[in-house]
């Protein structure tokens, strides 16, 4: 039988690998920006459960791991531990299985082992990471918080005779894109919840105590998340975050270039629209249909909303286009270079039925295949040209990958601006719809 308590064993190889995976590849190659708020809210040398929302499969784990240097232990879905070799690898990466009803009702008894190992981790004043929704959700909606993490906290409290502070740290994860490379993440650690504050209630009635903790945890996580509660108008409200963000940012005095400011603006837009749904349902229904019409127009014309708000000036567009032409040969060369290690793995990505795994597969593929490609061709160049040519090729691959991915985004932006400027007369109707939406939203906003 596998010894899951080994997750606490010190391993220099793991520490070195974690630094490369998170501090280098995740923070600077795969993502464009990682913003962390509230690190000071994580107690030091205390039993801590970090409880993040779960929106992006493995990327959520990496987001938490990149902010910690104390090597936390993760609870992970049990089905990935089925093969013994894989189970040993996951233990090496400090992961412990948690069993769900979908794994078979009889398997739930194995959670006694999970709870025991989890309590052992906390008793050692280490950090345990648990996703309290017990499932991931790619929509901007909170799923119900389950009791598993709360049970672990109270179990540890009982085992230590309520003599230790045990903290639950609600954690928000906010992405500007959960599918592709080179995007932004905001990680927010909220003020910790001390399980000892619920001691008297727990001793009086265990179920009431767990329900109270779940209620407090749900509120904290909802405040830390982009949560669109209404299913009927979910897509319209989600799209509205891009249409009205400049208007709201200006009113709030926020800078959308700062990703935490963008989060605050999104929250405000959702609050305004949810209040409008409740107070003026008929008016809002017409407003929502107008959003659908506008978004369809953008999609049909291959446009982005920001082009109506802040298109490039002719001068900037011409200079940017000239720069693109100058760099185009290098860009095309990078297409050839990365066709095998990055483009071919896209076949693997689209074999997953659940799109929420796309980013995780892209992250793993970029890491494994780009490094293998760099090693293979680095060796070939070292043999056939010189050792320094092989070394330079190897070291440049991550930087060239960033250039290639960012330049692709740059080209798309330039082409979008040209399409917008040259076809401006065709988009008058679309511009009128957008102006109507802004006027109507402004009325909701002031109310």
Ranges in the chain annotated CATH 3.40.1130.10: 4-223
pLDDT on residue 101? 60
pLDDT digit of tens for each residue in the chain (447 aa)? 556 666 677 677 787 888 888 889 999 999 999 999 999 999 999 999 999 999 998 899 999 998 877 789 998 877 777 777 777 777 777 888 887 666 666 666 677 888 888 898 899 999 999 999 988 888 999 999 999 999 999 999 999 999 999 999 999 999 999 999 999 999 999 999 999 999 999 999 999 999 999 999 999 999 999 999 999 999 999 999 999 999 999 999 999 999 999 999 999 999 999 999 999 999 999 999 999 999 999 999 999 999 999 899 999 999 999 999 999 999 999 999 998 898 888 888 888 878 888 998 899 888 999 999 999 999 999 999 999 999 999 999 999 999 999 999 999 999 999 999 998 788 999 999 999 999 999 999 986
pLDDT on residue 19? 85
pLDDT on residue 90? 78
pLDDT on residue 107? 62
The C-alpha R_g of the chain, in whole angstroms, comes to 25
Judge whether 169 and 51 are in contact, CB under 8 Å: yes
pLDDT on residue 67? 85
pLDDT on residue 316? 96
pLDDT on residue 84? 76
Q: In the chain, what is the straight-line distance between the N-terminal and C-terminal CA atoms, in Å?
A: 63
Hey, what are 7's tokens?
């997750």
Whole-model pTM: value is 0.92
How distant, in Å, are the alpha carbons of 104, 159, 241, 445 from that of 275?
A: 42, 46, 15, 9
**Closest by Cα among 190, 192, 214 to 202:** 214
pLDDT on residue 327? 96
User: Residue by residue, what is the 3-state secondary structure of 127-143?
Assistant: EEECCCCCCCCCCCCCC
Please provide residue 169's backbone torsions phi and psi, each rounded to the nearest 5 degrees: -115, 100
pLDDT on residue 280? 94
User: Residue by residue, what is the 3-state secondary structure of 380-445?
Assistant: HHHHHCCHHHHHHHHHHHHHHHHHHHHHHHHHHHHHHHHHHHHCHHHHHHHHHHHHHHHHHHHHHH
**Closest by Cα among 90, 95, 51, 58 to 73:** 95
Judge whether 75 and 131 are in contact, CB under 8 Å: yes
243 membership: H or E segment, kind and range: helix 234-243
Class of domain 4-223: alpha beta
19 membership: H or E segment, kind and range: none
């Amino acid at each position: 039988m596998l010894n899951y308590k080994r997750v606490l064993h010190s391993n220099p190889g793991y520490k070195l690998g974690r630094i490369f995976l998170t501090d280098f590849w995740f923070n600077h190659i795969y993502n464009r920006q990682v913003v962390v708020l509230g690190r000071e809210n994580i107690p030091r040398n205390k039993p801590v459960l970090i409880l993040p929302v779960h929106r992006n499969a493995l990327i959520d784990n990496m987001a938490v791991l990149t902010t910690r240097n104390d090597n936390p232990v993760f609870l992970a879905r049990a089905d990935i531990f089925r093969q013994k070799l894989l189970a040993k690898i996951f233990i090496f990466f400090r992961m412990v299985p948690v069993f769900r009803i979908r794994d078979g009702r009889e398997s739930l008894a194995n959670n006694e082992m999970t709870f025991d190992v989890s309590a052992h981790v906390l008793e050692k004043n280490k950090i345990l990471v648990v996703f309290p929704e017990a499932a991931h959700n790619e929509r901007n909606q909170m799923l119900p918080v389950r009791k598993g993490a709360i049970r672990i906290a109270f179990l540890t409290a009982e085992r230590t005779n309520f003599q230790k502070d045990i903290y639950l740290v609600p954690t928000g994860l906010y992405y500007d894109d959960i599918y592709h490379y080179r995007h932004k993440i905001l990680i927010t650690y909220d003020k910790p919840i001390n399980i000892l504050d619920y001691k008297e209630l727990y001793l009086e009635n265990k179920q009431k105590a767990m329900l109270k903790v779940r209620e407090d945890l749900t509120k904290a996580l909802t405040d830390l998340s982009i949560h669109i509660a209404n299913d009927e108008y979910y897509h319209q409200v989600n799209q509205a975050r891009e249409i009205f963000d400049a208007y709201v940012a200006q009113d709030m005095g926020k800078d959308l270039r700062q990703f935490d400011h963008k989060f605050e603006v999104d929250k405000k837009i959702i609050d305004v629209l949810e209040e409008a749904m409740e107070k003026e349902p008929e008016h809002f229904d017409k407003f929502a249909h107008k959003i659908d019409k506008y978004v369809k127009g953008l999609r049909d014309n291959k446009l982005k909303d920001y082009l109506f708000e802040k298109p490039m000036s002719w001068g900037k567009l011409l200079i940017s286009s000239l720069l693109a032409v100058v760099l185009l040969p290098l860009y095309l060369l990078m297409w050839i270079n990365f066709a095998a290690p990055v483009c071919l793995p896209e076949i693997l990505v689209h074999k997953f039925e659940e799109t929420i795994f796309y980013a995780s597969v892209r992250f793993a593929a970029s890491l494994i295949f780009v490094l293998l490609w760099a090693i293979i061709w680095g060796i070939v160049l070292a043999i056939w040209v010189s050792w320094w040519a092989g070394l330079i090729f190897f070291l440049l691959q991550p930087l060239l990958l960033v250039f290639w991915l960012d330049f692709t985004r740059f080209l798309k932006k330039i082409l979008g601006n040209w399409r917008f400027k040259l076809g401006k007369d065709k988009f008058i109707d679309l511009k009128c719809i957008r102006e109507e939406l802004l006027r109507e939203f402004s009325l909701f906003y002031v109310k």
